[in-house]
Amino acid sequence: MGAVVIVGYKPKPGKESELLALVREHVPYLRNLGLATDRPPIALKSKDGTIVEIFEWCDGAIEKAHGNPAVHKLWAEYAQVCDYVPLIGLSEFTDLFAQFAPID
């Protein structure tokens, strides 16, 4: 069984379009490396501009990713355009039904 993860990316000033491009390529890239499942990812935007991504790692892939140079390169690209943020800081998560804008 894989692991479904939910992650928050807060774009750095002026970097939202670059972040969105990375998010759109992220899961297909991981799939090509055999690290993400075929479950369709979901990308959302919060009121404060944070991008929330939901996707599924393959079984054991999280550990494999930490030793994969290609994944480290991808993570470095993310670090240039965003900060990872805890989801608890998003106002949407104080509502019973958290609502986000979909990203196509």
Q: What is the pTM of this model?
A: 0.92
Q: Quote the CA–CA distance of 81 and 26 in Å, as a whole number.
A: 14
Sequential pLDDT tens for the chain (104 residues): 799 999 999 999 999 999 999 999 999 999 999 999 999 999 999 999 999 999 999 999 999 999 999 999 999 999 999 999 999 999 999 999 999 999 98
Domain that holds residue 15: 3-102
For residues 33 and 70, is the Cβ–Cβ distance under 8 A?
Answer: yes
What is the per-residue pLDDT for 50?
98
Q: Quote the CA–CA distance of 80 and 98 in Å, as a whole number.
A: 28
- Give the chain's domain count: 1
- CATH number of the domain bearing residue 10: 3.30.70.100
